[in-house]
Amino acid sequence: MLKSLSFFIRYFLFWIVFFLVNRVVFFGWNIERLDDVSNDKIFLAFLYGMQMDASMAGYLSVIPFVLFIISWLIPKIPLQGKVILNYTFVFTFLTAVITAIDFNIYTEWGTKINARAIDFLFESPSEAMASAASSPLFSSLFIVFALSMFGFYLSNKIIFKQNPDLDKSYFLVKFPIALLILGLTFLAIRGGWGIAPMNPSKVYFSDKPILNHAAINTDWLLLSNYIKKADKKNPYQYLEQTKQDAILKELYPKTNSTNTLPILSVKKPNVVLIILESFTADVVQELGGEEQITPGFSALAKEGLLFSNIYASGDRTDKGLIAILSGFPSQAIRSIIKENDKQEKLPSLIKSFRQAGYNTSFFYGGDTEFSNFKSYLISSQIHTLKDASDFNSEDLTSKWGAYDEITFKKQLQFLNHENQPFFSTLLTLSNHEPFELPKEGAFGKQSIENKFRSTSHYTAECLLNFVEEAKKEAWYNNTLFVVVADHGHRLPKNIYESYMTERYHIPLLVFGGALQTVYKGKVVDKIGNQTDIAVTLLGQLNLHTQAYKYSNNLLNTATKGFSFYNWDNGFGIVEDNQAISYDPISQTIIYQKPKTINPKKQEELLLKAKAMMQSVYQDYLDY
């Protein structure tokens, strides 16, 4: 009997050891992030992580244990052999694949693999492959191969080297032992006897996010993420409703239109909204970015009104699009654009302009079915939608579709024959992984950082050329151009983690014939967010703004500027040139700028950030 019982111990132990090796590889992949981390802290990541490893080992052991127990209790039913072997090999391989994908996602997003990333892979495989093109393919494949081979070897060595005899002990002796084994397995899954079941908080122990992320079992987190997708409870419940409402009233006060600076030279201008892919402030010289990366943007900034302290709401295009067009902040672990029953209820600049008598259009060189863009745009009652399906096949030469110069040309040709007034939006794509161009880049191809600089330079050049051509048309003098990024990026500096405020800093520029001359070349330094574009723009046109709950008028002198942002693992806020980022799992402030903030101000910022996250997520659930 002892030989049979040893199978359960050996099988469970195999997964514990395999997960330990996965964590070793995680640290090896991210070794450059560990410069200021001591060895004893790294050891603690293994120690704390073992709790979650045991939980995931329990999940993976349930089926083999049940099959073995059936064969143990009823020897005539031989289920313990090849079935368990094949099961183990399959999940060993899947774990290796998940681990490799997780490493690349962590590099790009600064977050562990989650349901959103996997959904992206299956819903938009070609776009996912394009995004992954800049990842080190050979290294990723080698990790999958090496971990799989190690797992196969280890399982044979620990589990299957000796075949346990299905002893002929009495059924009444084995049955209670079997129940005990299943009970202990459930206990491992749950994470112990305590009131709280296994959750990420149990393995969080450090003020350094990378150590907490290393402690988390990747498979467990992904499984948990899918289970929680059906959860209708708000995980960000911090404040009483009255306290939350009071804070939001302070952040989004009702203002008088007489306090708004009128910047338009015409009453009902055309509006062209350009959303630049990944156009971080770090590539804009006027915003403190590197010099001479985007001279095309700099040229336009000289003839426009530049907002120097604008931040993205989130870290991906699907969230940026909603923040800009609907004035609705990012929802951290969710993306409302992908849920038709919810996104259909959002306000939209497209709807607002259409109701005001504008002709509306949207241009994108890629596939608008990506991340459910098409459904959102159609729900917003767009008049004209142009995407990759409307381009000639010879124009679709990038991995994402048409290069930016082709898309700008298509929009220009369309606007030259469009009835005025019009509201037209264009979303670029060339400044996206894998950062490829139709010609030699301005900064070469020596590194991923220089590829990013080259595509940023190219997109700005395309934008400038588009504007110069538009100036030749009669409609230009009656048009306001609004240029903003969909989100920031870790590149080109490659030093900002997802929780750092600087990663969300983006440009916002307005210019064109409809802008009063007195504002050209000026800078607005009020802190703001993508979500503020809606009310700021509609306020200039005296259109209704009540539907945009999370949008302030950046040109209203009575509003105090601030910005709220979030990512999969947390959220933050910027106000009075001070910022904090908060991790809701460890319940700690993990980043602040400057490094020392008055404790009273710190608490004030944290309450505002919590109120925002609580309110935004609840509104997401209620839509």
- The model's pLDDT over 589-620, given as tens digits with 9 standing for 90+, comes to 999 999 999 999 999 999 999 999 999 999 99
* Of the candidates 213, 216, 217, 219, the residue with the CA atom closest to the CA atom of residue 94: 219
Q: Is the pLDDT of residue 167 over 60?
A: no
Return d(Cα 622, Cα 232) in angstroms, integer.
9
CB neighbours of 567 closer than 8 A, spacing ≥ 6? 109, 110, 111, 314, 315, 330, 332, 498, 499
Q: Is the pLDDT of residue 367 over 90?
A: yes
Are 569 and 258 in contact by the 8 Å Cβ rule? The answer is: no
Return d(Cα 98, Cα 61) in angstroms, integer.
18
* Of the candidates 428, 325, 331, 313, the residue with the CA atom closest to the CA atom of residue 379: 325
Give pLDDT, residue 109: 81
Q: Please give the residue that has the higher pLDDT: either 134 or 25.
A: 25
Q: State the average pLDDT for the chain.
A: 92
Q: Is the pLDDT of residue 158 over 90?
A: no
Q: Please give the residue that has the higher pLDDT: either 437 or 338.
A: 437
Coil/strand/helix, residue 284:
coil
Task: Give the residue-averaged pLDDT of 510-530.
Answer: 98
Beta bridge partners of 552: none
Return d(Cα 100, Cα 497) in angstroms, integer.
20
User: In the chain, what's the furthest Cα-to-Cα distance?
Assistant: 94
**Tens digits of residue pLDDT in 476-510:** 999 999 999 999 999 999 999 999 999 999 999 99
Return d(Cα 130, Cα 496) in angstroms, integer.
23
Are 468 and 505 in contact by the 8 Å Cβ rule? The answer is: no
Q: Is the pLDDT of residue 277 over 80?
A: yes
Give pLDDT, residue 429: 97
Of the ranges 100-109, 120-129, 161-170, the best mean pLDDT one = 100-109
Are 563 and 310 in contact by the 8 Å Cβ rule? The answer is: yes
Q: Is the pLDDT of residue 164 over 60?
A: no
Return d(Cα 506, Cα 456) in angstroms, integer.
13
Return d(Cα 529, Cα 312) in angstroms, integer.
6
The two structure tokens encoding residue 403: 């290069």
Return d(Cα 277, Cα 487) in angstroms, integer.
7
Least confident of 112-126, 170-184, 244-258, 297-311: 112-126
Q: How confident is the model at residue 397 (pLDDT cuts 50, 70, 90)?
A: very high
